[in-house]
């Protein structure tokens, strides 16, 4: 899987980043986005949260939810990330892949 980040600010559509996007073996991406501070992050179905270092163009594993939250790592839906917190909701069951919005 590859990640291409395109500059949309100046409408020049210049490719800013074009790199491989790591995913754990036999996993899939469940969340991809930016933190409040502008750090690019991914979260996969094996519970690995990764951040992208723009300076050296490398991915860094930031947290392994499978180790820290073994009983429910596969039942969370990330809603946002700040400098010190991962904001998420717990899904009612493992079969539910996205939250039901009322």
Of the two residues 14 and 96, the one the predictor is more confident about is 14
List pLDDT tens digits, range 46-90: 889 999 998 999 999 999 988 877 777 777 888 899 988 998 888
DSSP 8-state secondary structure symbol assigned to residue 65 = H
Average pLDDT over residues 6-10: 85
Contact 16/6 with Cβ under 8 angstroms? yes
Q: Is residue 99 part of a domain?
A: no
Domain count, the chain: 1
d(CA 83, CA 64): 17
pLDDT classification of 9: cutoffs 50, 70, 90? confident
Q: Is residue 102 part of a domain?
A: no
Q: Is residue 95 part of a domain?
A: no
Q: Is residue 8 part of a domain?
A: yes
What is the pLDDT at residue 94? Answer: 63
Contact 16/23 with Cβ under 8 angstroms? no
> Residue 64 belongs to what domain range?
2-90
Q: Is residue 97 part of a domain?
A: no
- Interacting residues of 3 by C-beta distance below 8 A, sequence separation 6+: 17, 18, 19, 20, 21, 52
């Amino acid at each position: 899987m590859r990640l291409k980040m395109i500059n949309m600010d100046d409408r020049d559509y210049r490719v800013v980043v074009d790199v491989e996007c790591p995913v754990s073996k036999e996993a899939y991406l469940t969340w991809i986005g930016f933190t409040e501070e502008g750090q690019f992050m991914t979260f996969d179905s094996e519970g690995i949260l990764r951040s992208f270092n723009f300076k050296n163009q490398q991915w860094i594993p930031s947290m392994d939810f499978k180790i820290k939250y073994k009983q429910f790592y596969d039942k969370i839906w990330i809603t946002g990330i700040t400098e010190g917190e991962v904001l998420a909701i717990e899904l009612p069951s493992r079969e539910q892949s996205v939250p039901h919005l009322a």
